[in-house]
């Protein structure tokens, strides 16, 4: 019998997020005219807001869903690094360091014993240079490994449990498909080649498709007014990890991730779906 979403206790999930953290800075203002030097608007900035981006946004989403969340990354010794430390509030255990993440494998291995699921959030900024070693260590520790991929070299993700590319990212790797049948063939071939449990394709307004074994599941996008799709992929992988960490089935986790994505695209900028918004209760 499938579990009821409202009965999933996300407080039991322990998630380790590793990857490239960023500081997203937003400027708000009024556009009064077009620049005479170029066809761009001239903005009178009236306000500024900093938000967590990249892997930090993934960790924030996990935390907002109620999971016990740990973030492992490296930030610079600068104003942006200080701001990230101020915003995070989740296991920011050391001051910013110039030490690269690739040299922190031992810390990563130690952290594995305190998590159920690992998220590797790859934004192509160099923080996951030794991702192959991390995947091997996590799988040896019998942890599920979810990867948000980047670039065209997916061989580095071999052995992970689930990857969550969007349409453009998958097309860069498997080529342009002719139709849905061709997409299934290409996606399943990639899944088998990498030895994945599943491949979750996020398709924007077309929802999501989960490829596993010899079957695929299409989940229709929930109809909502779209404000901003920034960071929706972060919400998807975070929700998926939290639900799996809370012992939900994969298909149930995918449907909840789809619901969470629908919530955050209705918000401006990088955002998180809360447990109350997702389940309708605290």
Q: Tell me whether residue 237 is exposed, middle or buried, using C-beta atoms within 10 angstroms of its C-beta: 0 to 12, 13 to 18, 19 or more.
A: buried
What is the average pLDDT across 78-98? 49
Q: What is the pLDDT of residues 49-72, one digit of tens each?
A: 555 667 888 998 999 999 999 988
Q: For residue 129, is pLDDT > 50?
A: yes
Give the span between the Cα atoms of 282 and 276, in whole angstroms.
5
Q: What is the pLDDT of residues 163-218, one digit of tens each?
A: 999 999 999 999 999 999 999 999 999 999 999 999 999 998 899 999 998 889 99
Query: Annotated active-site positions, please?
Result: 234
Element (H, E) at 228: none
Report whether 242 contacts 278 (CB < 8 A): no
Relative to beta strand 21-34, strand 198-202 is: unpaired
CA angle, residues 46, 51, 53, in degrees to nearest 5: 135
Give the span between the Cα atoms of 71 and 93, in whole angstroms.
9
C-alpha radius of gyration, the chain, whole number: 19
The pTM assigned to this predicted structure is 0.81
> Which pLDDT belongs to residue 226?
54
Half-sphere exposure (CA, 13 Å, Cβ side) for 153? 6
Report whether 121 contacts 150 (CB < 8 A): no
Cα-based distances in Å from 76 to 21, 80, 231, 258, 276:
10, 7, 22, 34, 34
């Amino acid at each position: 019998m499938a579990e009821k979403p409202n009965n999933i206790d996300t407080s039991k999930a322990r998630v380790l997020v590793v990857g490239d953290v960023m500081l997203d800075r937003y400027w708000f203002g009024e556009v009064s005219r077009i620049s005479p030097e170029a066809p761009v608007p001239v903005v009178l900035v009236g306000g500024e807001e900093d938000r967590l981006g990249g892997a930090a946004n993934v960790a924030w989403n996990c935390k907002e869903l109620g999971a016990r969340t740990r973030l492992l990354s490296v930030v610079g010794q600068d104003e942006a690094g200080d701001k990230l430390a101020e915003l995070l509030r989740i296991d920011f255990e050391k001051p910013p360091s110039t030490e690269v993440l690739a040299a922190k494998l031992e810390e990563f291995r130690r952290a594995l014993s305190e998590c159920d699921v690992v998220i590797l959030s790859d934004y192509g900024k160099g923080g996951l240079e030794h991702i192959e070693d991390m995947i091997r260590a996590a799988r040896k520790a019998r942890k599920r490994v979810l990867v948000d991929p980047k670039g065209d070299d997916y061989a580095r993700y071999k052995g992970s449990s689930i990857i969550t590319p969007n349409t453009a990212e998958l097309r860069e790797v498997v080529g342009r498909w002719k139709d849905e049948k061709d997409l299934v063939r290409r996606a399943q071939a990639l899944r088998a080649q990498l030895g994945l449990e599943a491949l979750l394709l996020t398709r924007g307004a077309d929802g999501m498709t989960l490829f596993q074994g010899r079957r695929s599941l299409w989940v229709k996008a929930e109809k909502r007014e779209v404000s901003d799709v920034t960071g929706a992929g972060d919400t998807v992988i975070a929700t998926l990890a939290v639900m799996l960490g809370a012992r939900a089935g994969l298909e149930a986790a995918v449907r909840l991730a789809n619901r969470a994505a629908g919530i955050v695209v209705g918000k401006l900028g990088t955002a998180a779906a809360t447990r109350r918004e997702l389940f309708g209760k605290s």
